[in-house]
Amino acid sequence: MLDQILSRENLILALKRVEKNKGSHGVDGMSVQNLREHIMEHWTYLKEQIQEGTYQPQPVRRVEIPKPNGGKRKLGIPTVIDRFIQQAIAQVLTKIYDPTFSTNSYGFRPNKRGHDAVRQARRYIKEGHRWVIDMDLEKFFDKVNHDRLMRTLSKRIQDPNLLRLIRRYLQSGIMEDGLVRPNTEGAPQGGPLSPLLSNIVLDELDKELERRGLHFVRYADDCNIYIRSHRAGQRVMKGITQFIEDKLKLKVNEQKSAVDRPWKRKFLGFSFTFHKENPKIRISKESIKRFKHRIKRLTSRKKSISMEERIKILNRYLLGWLGYYQLADTPTILKSLDSWIRRRLRMIRWKEWKKVQTRYKNLKRLGINRGKAWEWANTRKAYWRVAKSPILHVAIGDQYWIHQGLKSLFNRYQTKRLT
């Protein structure tokens, strides 16, 4: 198997993928841009080490990024050399393991997306499974049991050098604040191998859910089980929690896990409407809250940039956000968000026209009669309130922002749905 991993074809593909994904440097400071040159110069020596079982991965660099719901997500960034080797391993192991994974597993798999998982969840609800067990695994990527994972891998991987290399990656250590600490459990997020290993661990959960005849969708460690009654949900949750903790040696977060109605929970940023005959996919309240928070940051007056530049930055975020959330069936919320964004921008414009004379002059220039322009130029109303006023709707309304180049979420959504 190591021969397949070290084949020229597999290595070239791994190199291209690491270069395409870019990403930050590891503990050695080497950038992706320098990877190809380094490999060409040192590959013979590296290959010998891997084949002889003497290669020692470097520690991962600890990075913390904010979670959407608060708190920090801890990542472990490998060096670019280790990313390259991990990618080469992952490509070969994916061909072996992926065909045997559950059809209800959607995360980090070829030709599967989070949208597919959300659509499947909707189908379950439409079929009458109108209760959901929302399972939350506590710090899953930090709690993977190494010995158990290696035993699972050894059932299908007979190459001792490859198994040794994978274990070394799991136990390579974490550099934090200049100090390296050993890691005896977990598969730190950040490397190409971690997503596949997480699916191998949780495939046992998938198989158990299938054995019990349950309807479920799983995306990485985000697992939802759909049932027909609250009582059945409580019973199933108790049994599955016991399986996860006793058999998989993982921990279920009891505070975040629950048996509830699907429209009261979120799944991959989405939720559902409660209609019996035709439940619809909607954007979760938490996702809308995060969206507004981000827009407030992008439209903050603390950033002293022109309106033209601000709209360019805003458009990039809006189109990227909609690229994911266009799956939702509730376009009215997009209309509402468009209106809210324009109000934010009107408020910024009004703040820019700080002086009475500036406001008066600009309102007149935009078609407001002299009396009204003077009246509103002297108003003491709060900025946010003025931004909703009829006078600014006329002066700098929808057409004004279209002319400024602002993209509309609703219009873009309609275009995407028609194509």
SS3 track for 12-65: HHHHHHHHHHCCCCCCCCCCHHHHHHHHHHHHHHHHHHHHHCCCCCCCEEEEEE
Evaluate if residue 419 carries a pLDDT over 80: no
Arithmetic mean of pLDDT, 165-191: 89
Query: What distances in angstroms separate CA 391 from CA 167, 285, 362, 380, 395, one per listed residue?
Result: 67, 31, 12, 14, 6
Which pLDDT score is estimated for 69?
Answer: 67
Evaluate if residue 253 carries a pLDDT over 90: yes
Which pLDDT score is estimated for 298?
Answer: 92
Top pLDDT among 282 and 330 is at: 282
Which pLDDT score is estimated for 107?
Answer: 94
Which pLDDT score is estimated for 79?
Answer: 96
Which pLDDT score is estimated for 324?
Answer: 96
Question: Average pLDDT of the chain?
Answer: 94
Evaluate if residue 206 carries a pLDDT over 90: yes
Arithmetic mean of pLDDT, 218-242: 97
pLDDT (tens digit per residue) in 344-379? 999 999 999 999 999 999 999 999 999 999 999 999
Phi-psi region of 384 (alpha: psi -120 to 50; beta: other; left: phi over 0): alpha
Q: Which two tokens stand for residue 248?
A: 């998989």
Continuous segment of H or E residues that includes residue 236 = helix 230-246
pLDDT (tens digit per residue) in 267-304? 999 999 998 889 999 999 999 999 999 999 998 877 78
Evaluate if residue 70 carries a pLDDT over 70: no
Written as one letter, the residue type at 95 is: K
Q: Which two tokens stand for residue 227?
A: 């049932």
Q: How far apart are CA 81 and CA 260, in angstroms?
A: 45
Which pLDDT score is estimated for 303?
Answer: 73
Q: DSSP class of residue 97?
A: H
Q: What domains can you pick out in the chain, each with its CATH number?
A: 1-65+75-100+147-172 (no CATH), 102-144+186-275 (3.30.70.270), 285-418 (no CATH)
Top pLDDT among 98 and 188 is at: 98
Arithmetic mean of pLDDT, 155-174: 94
